Amino acid sequence: MAKRRNQAGGGVRKPRFSYPAEHSVGHQVRWTHRALQRALEARIRPYGITLGMWYFLRALWEEDGLSQRELSERAGTAEPTTVTALHAMERRGLVVRVQNQDDRRKSNIYLTKPARELRELLLPQAREVNRTATAGMPPAEIEALKRTLTRLRVNLAAARDADEEN
């Protein structure tokens, strides 16, 4: 492969800007997130639950009967992704859609009994992934990490809101 030469001296052109991935908070968070996802996925797969289903189950365990839009917001997914996941969950007998009494255009999503029972099986799996990830960290450090991650989200939301105002 031919190396690029700069026009002045014929040497290899150096990039004007360098930002190694290991220096990026975004990359570190993404790599950590992916590692956490892989660990969780390995633990919930034996129960027939995919990672995609997991986020919707978590939201519905916290508040059953959400509308599809509310569920998308809570799970942090786009509505088409939510529709696909809900179809799969309906086929598996994990959720049912019930037409909203106040607005017939909407439906609310409810967990079935088997899905509610999965809570007691799957939440300990998630807790164990978190224990593994934070092994050797004192509780104060774990709390500081959670505060830091929350601060990152708040900062990014504020920047997004400011951009939308302009």
pLDDT at 3: 52
Dihedral (C-alpha) 112, 114, 116, 118: value to the nearest 10 degrees? -150
CB atoms within 10 A of CB 57: 23
pLDDT at 124: 98
Assess contact for 114 and 93: CB atoms under 8 A: yes
pLDDT at 6: 53
Q: Which domains does the chain have, with CATH numbers?
A: 42-117 (1.10.10.10)
pLDDT at 47: 96
* Structure tokens that stand for 2 in this block: 């031919």
* Structure tokens that stand for 87 in this block: 């179809």
pTM: 0.80
pLDDT in tens, 106-130: 889 999 999 999 999 999 999 999 9
Would you give the DSSP letter of residue 109?
E
* Structure tokens that stand for 50 in this block: 């995919």
Q: Is 58 left (phi over 0), alpha (psi -120 to 50) or beta?
A: alpha
Dihedral (C-alpha) 113, 115, 120, 122: value to the nearest 10 degrees? 170
* Structure tokens that stand for 71 in this block: 């569920």
pLDDT at 37: 97
CB atoms within 10 A of CB 89: 23
pLDDT at 113: 97
pLDDT at 135: 98
Residue stretches of the chain with pLDDT short of 50? none
